[in-house]
Amino acid sequence: MARPLSLCFLLHVVFFWVLLRAALSSARPHTQEEPLYLKFVSNATDFPMEDYYDYIIIGGGTAGCPLAATLSQSYRVLVLERGGIGYGNPNLMSQEGFIRTLMEVDTFHSPAQAFTSEEGVPSARGRVLGGSSAINAGFYSRADTYFFHNSGVEWDLRAVNTSYAWIEKAVVFRPKLRSWQSIVRDGLLEAGVNPSNGFTFDHMVGTKIGGSTFDKFGRRHTSADLLSYAKPSNIRVGVHASVERVLLASTSANPGQKISAIGVVYRDQVGRYHHAMVRDHGEVILSAGAIGSPQLLLLSGVGPRPYLSYWGIPVARHLPYVGQFLYDNPRNGISIVPPMPLEHSLIQVVGITESGAYIEAASNVIPFASPARAVFLHTPSSLLNVTVATLMGKIAGPLSRGSLRLASTDVRINPIVRFNYFSNPADLERCISGTRTIGEVLRSHSLDYFKFRDWYGNREFRYVGPPLPADLSNNAQMAEHCRQTVTTIWHYHGGCVVGKVVDKEFRVLGVNALRIVDGSTLNISPGTNPQATLMMLGRYVGLKMRKERSGPK
């Protein structure tokens, strides 16, 4: 006869089941609700061949999305984005996919579009809804006061701060520091990058923890999420919509009269052409970034007359500085293999020095291909995952400037860019200073834990790539190190700068109903990382445009 189960046994079973359910629940990936903005995002193939809008925004990127959301509260808005939708792409939406996104590229379709400067420095630009905010390292920090005093714009700082706050409420989070970021923070303080400013969005000399567009579950949030603030009945977003040119026309028979933007021509995914036209008092707004906006101006006939004529492009407006005053902040640094595995971490901590150098850090698990016949390695896969920890420096400014020119009249083909890194000696001095600070961080006690011990008991780092010069005081060696190891931190800007191509209200000089609202208008990088200020810029300009249009005529 079966014995009855004891009450004690039953309680143990129930307790185990509760624990198991809790463990399974916590192990499940946190699912993210489908964004509200997807309800008004469509493939451009579904759009009419011709339609009319109050505002047409070219580029659904870092600045374009908040601009569109803001304008849609009062007006009918069309956003044309050449890429697709990033939501649901695991590489884009996680920190772990950051490097893979930048490596898995193709000519016409990948979310990151690779290009290489004439100096041979590889870079990338966003080609996805959300723009570069969907492929970057997620760090969020407001601009410094120097930027607001020297960018050529008369900023309303109260409106600036409320615009930043609008962004921060929606897509910015406080990161949780783990080993590498915590150690680098301590090392920066040991190296004299003081004071410790804790967690702050503000730009402050010293060491701080900044904001992140990755939430506590590691999910990325982009400027596309700001489209959820839009008025759905007033906005349409077309993806896979490649704008070929801005349509410009004279509104008067008077030859001295300004030309006006009246619409755009864009091509959908299957190659069909569409026309989007602006209504009375409407505008076309370029938000295609520091590479795309000057390129599109040139293809639309706005630029240096002799250069446009050389390409056979009809000249609509002679503007000699389109594509000029293009800048990229050089990045230099070192990478090490730590003696223990590290978590993925993108930029969370920054050391802001008084010399104009910014020190940041990242750690990534990078797959390396093992030999086809690995005698000593018995692994089920041909890939080895190796942790690489990086310390990098970015300089403020920069002062060195380059230029952009067309490689083709096909808007899908990257233009040719040259940044002329370190052509201004002040940039090289800042690099030397920042690299010395990295050296001091490496010498701090905080980083001893990341050294290997050799057969003789000595402790040293194992570098991936060139180490710093042994003599940090040798200016010639440090300068050569800066030149030889220069790469990009993807903060390129300019090409349509204020005072040269656009006025203080971001209107294109000599052209009615055409503005540029993106990083191409900036003559200086806004603090440590630009995405916060570019998102703010979209919101800020949108509010100003609404106020201007609703005011007295």
Which residues are catalytic, by number?
A: 491
Going from the C-alpha of 499 to that of each of 325, 496, 502, 503, 520, the distances in angstroms are 11, 9, 6, 5, 12
- Cβ distance 301 to 311 under 8 Å? no
Element holding 453 (H helix, E strand):
strand 452-453
The DSSP bridge partners found for residue 42 are 238
- Cβ distance 133 to 518 under 8 Å? no
Q: How much is the CA Rg of the chain, to the nearest whole Å?
A: 26
SS3 string, 120-162, reads CCEEEEECECCHHHHCCCCEECCCCHHHHHHCCCCCCHHHHHH
The DSSP bridge partners found for residue 349 are 209
- Cβ distance 178 to 326 under 8 Å? no
Q: Let me know if 111 is exposed, middle or buried by CB neighbors in 10 A (0-12, 13-18, 19+).
A: buried
Question: Does the CA dihedral 139-142-145-150 come out positive or negative?
Answer: positive
Going from the C-alpha of 98 to that of each of 92, 118, 205, 239, 332, the distances in angstroms are 7, 25, 28, 22, 19
Could you give the CA distance from residue 507 to residue 501 in angstroms, rounded to a whole number?
8
Could you give the CA distance from residue 266 to residue 408 in angstroms, rounded to a whole number?
17
Residue 324's nearest CA partner among 536, 525, 470, 496 is 496
Place of tokens 């030309």: 259
Q: Would you tell me how many other CB atoms lie within 10 Å of the CB of residue 200? A: 14
